[in-house]
Chains A and B, each alone.
Chain A
Amino acid sequence: MAAVTTTPRQKAGWGVANFVVIALALIPVLWLVSLSFKTPAAVLDPSFVPSQWTWANYSGILQSSQFIRPLINSIGIGLISTFIAVVLASMAAYAVARLAFPGKSVLIGMALLIAIFPQISLITPLFSIERSLGLFNTWPGLIIPYVAFGLPLGIYILSAFFREIPWELEKAAKMDGATPFQAFTKVIAPLAAPGMVTTAILVFLACWNDFLFAISFTSTTTARTAPAALQYFSGGSVFTVPTGPIAAAAVVITIPIIIFVLFFQRRIVAGLTSGAVKG
């Protein structure tokens, strides 16, 4: 990179371009943050910085079981779905990458099929199924579809990672006295960790952001997740639009994502397999 010399003009050009892109992406977010600090009366005030700062929106939603309970649901359902999806996807991807077994191409085909299936078309049948199985408006009622739709992506990402890991490492681990389980946990899994983290982040984001299933398969705050709960917010009176609380809630549900990505960014980028074999 350093070898490529850039003229000051080029540098300036790139700087402007980057600034424009970042500004376009960030202005709506900042606008949302700004809205969340405005009083109900100032919501229609076009100034970017609130003239009068207030925490009322935040304290309001954080005291309301209308929001706290869905937030807990979101976190719980998201984490459980992610965990299950990553574990299952790891095993499936390992098999896809390493073993020749009958029905392998069928498995891959099915996974692809699920990934490209429009979810909206499944709502009605899934709704009926969940009703008759008693899963409607429960955590498993959301976890199961989330895992199902998270798996194909996970299998794709992880099988690519497993394929990269030289098979001889596993043989070496076996020769060193590792059981197959130890070989997987101590050698293969650490090397596939960036893939698992990537998968986990993507699955978690999908669960966290999902609105379609959340609104369709829940009826009360028992299982309703935060994005779905937003639409049930009410204003101070029937005549006020709850713009402030919605903005505050949107900011709150964005924060975990930011933390998540900042925390794992390094691991996603790290290419751990380099140096395993002759370079």
Chain B
Amino acid sequence: MADIVLDNVTKRYPDGALAVDKISLDIADGEFVILVGPSGCGKSTTLNMIAGLEDITEGELRIGGKVVNNAAPKDRDIAMVFQSYALYPHMTVRQNMGFALKLAKTPQKVIDEKVNEAARILDLTQHLDRRPANLSGGQRQRVAMGRAIVRDPAAFLMDEPLSNLDAKLRVQMRTEVSRIQRRLGTTTVYVTHDQTEAMTLGDRVAVMRNGILQQVGSPQELYDRPDNLFVAGFIGSPSMNFMPSVVEDNTLHTPLGDVPLTGRLQRALEQARAPRELIVGIRPENFEDAALVPADQRSSGITFRASIDVLESMGSDVFVYFTKEFGNEVDAAELRELAEDSGSADVGVRNDAMVARLDTETRAAEGHESELWADLRTLHVFNPADGSNITLDYGADRAVGGAAPATSPAAGTGRGAGGTGASTDAPAGPGTGVI
């Protein structure tokens, strides 16, 4: 058991490709850290550097306090689970699991004990004398896990270990991985492409893009407070809706409607030296069927009409897809990249397509116009130039006025800093709720 510290670790491949750029990450002893990011962002490279399968070009890697930049994989006491499982086809399950111990010259009796124990945990006992070729995908995956846990290593590294399984088995193995990691308490670095794995498995999630670490935090933190456009778009499924917006006369003009800027948001924009043109982000669950929003809450959001293109009922929720005329395109390198990664760029999904998650009570119907409500308390505003989240420091009680056919009178004034009455600097709308 050990902690893993990456200190400005950089990887440049011999052909000049900069795969990982100055990553710094502290992984505590026993922690479960997830590395996510689009294809080619350097996740595997990072993992392989920790494993010792790739050289570190610059920076320092410490495992258990020792610098291991130049240590061979076998001297790092780390076990790895590969995406392809990489089971030795000429060995039985038992031999596969015991191979590392055998190389370490462990007495046969101890090897047998450990292998049997691991097989029991993984429910592989009756398959111990079979060969990998004769096992199912899920069983092979468990053998790969078994090979790692038998060694009782300082850390586990897993590179998309579940991506070769079918959906149902993946869910099952996901809980299995989580259970085993909790039980053994071994430091784990886990690479994945999968949203759900990233959100459910780890203590912390590290998002990478183009070899650069974007943000590290608990899944909830990344979800609620994304540092930038990329993290905001990457975390969450369906992903955040982005809209181009323009600041003019102290008002934020969004395709959904105009939002008067209250003191705090205004100050945030000023402080960030934000340009006039911004990108506004709102998560699907921050929409609701306007009819279902209690009157006293309406003022904290904005009500608009939209024609529903597609409605998907998931049982517990209803997803509605609609488009809003955008004055100009939302354009940022981050968003283009995200679209490419999700494949939506290829299938020609328009980037003015929006998705909202509504309560099942909604009466919205496909092909009809509905009145929807967007909660502005959770609105994110990004600078399109560098993708930074301007509203980040304005947390949950972001000072944004809800302008709409709002009914309630001014709900209040900005709490905290400044305490400027929203209504005083909001020229539009009679009711401005500052939440």
Given contacts A174-B74, A176-B147, contact A278 B85 (CB under 8 A): yes
CB distance from B55 to the nearest CB of A (A): 13
Query: How many of chain B's residues have a CB under 8 angstroms from any CB in A?
Result: 31
Q: Which residues of B contact A182 (CB under 8 A)?
A: 103
Given contacts A182-B103, A275-B131, contact A175 B87 (CB under 8 A): no
Assess the A276–B134 pair: CB atoms within 8 A.
Answer: no
Q: Which residues of A contact B82 (CB under 8 A)?
A: 168, 171-172
Assess the B147–A278 pair: CB atoms within 8 A.
Answer: no
Assess the B133–A279 pair: CB atoms within 8 A.
Answer: yes
Assess the A272–B90 pair: CB atoms within 8 A.
Answer: yes
CB distance from B155 to the nearest CB of A (A): 11
CB distance from B193 to the nearest CB of A (A): 16
Q: Does residue B238 face the partner (Cβ distance < 8 Å to A)?
A: no
Question: Could you mark each residue 120-144 of chain A with 1 if its beta carbon is under 8 Å from any beta carbon of chain B, else 0?
Answer: 0000000000000000000000000
Q: Does residue B295 face the partner (Cβ distance < 8 Å to A)?
A: no
Q: Does residue B53 face the partner (Cβ distance < 8 Å to A)?
A: yes
Given contacts A168-B84, A175-B80, A275-B132, contact A191 B164 (CB under 8 A): no
Given contacts A168-B82, A176-B147, A177-B74, contact A276 B100 (CB under 8 A): no
Q: Which residues of A contact B390 (CB under 8 A)?
A: none
Question: Could you mark each residue 203-234 of chain B with 1 if its beta carbon is under 8 Å from any beta carbon of chain A, else 0?
Answer: 00000000000000000000000000000000
Q: Which residues of B contact A190 (CB under 8 A)?
A: 90
Question: Could you mark each residue 42-70 of chain B with 1 if its beta carbon is under 8 Å from any beta carbon of chain A, else 0?
Answer: 00000000011100000000000000000
Assess the A273–B85 pair: CB atoms within 8 A.
Answer: no
Question: Could you mark each residue 176-189 of chain A with 1 if its beta carbon is under 8 Å from any beta carbon of chain B, else 0?
Answer: 11110010001100
* Closest A residue, CB atoms, query B100: A176
Q: How large is the interface on A (under 10, 10 to 19, 20 to 34, 35 or more residues)?
A: 20 to 34
Assess the A272–B89 pair: CB atoms within 8 A.
Answer: yes
Q: Does residue A166 face the partner (Cβ distance < 8 Å to B)?
A: yes
Q: How far is the CA of A191 from the CA of B87 in the complex (A)?
A: 12
* Closest A residue, CB atoms, query B77: A177
CB distance from A174 to the nearest CB of B (A): 5
Assess the B53–A174 pair: CB atoms within 8 A.
Answer: yes
Question: Could you mark each residue 264-280 of chain B with 1 if its beta carbon is under 8 Å from any beta carbon of chain A, else 0?
Answer: 00000000000000000
Given contacts A182-B103, A278-B140, contact A172 B86 (CB under 8 A): yes
Q: How far is the CA of A171 from the CA of B52 in the complex (A)?
A: 10
22 contacts between A and B (CB under 8 A): A168-B86, A171-B86, A172-B86, A172-B88, A173-B88, A173-B99, A175-B53, A175-B78, A177-B103, A182-B103, A186-B99, A186-B103, A274-B89, A275-B131, A275-B132, A275-B133, A276-B84, A276-B87, A277-B84, A277-B85, A278-B85, A279-B133
Closest A-B pairs by Cβ, 8 of them: A275-B133, A176-B100, A168-B86, A172-B86, A277-B84, A177-B74, A276-B89, A278-B164
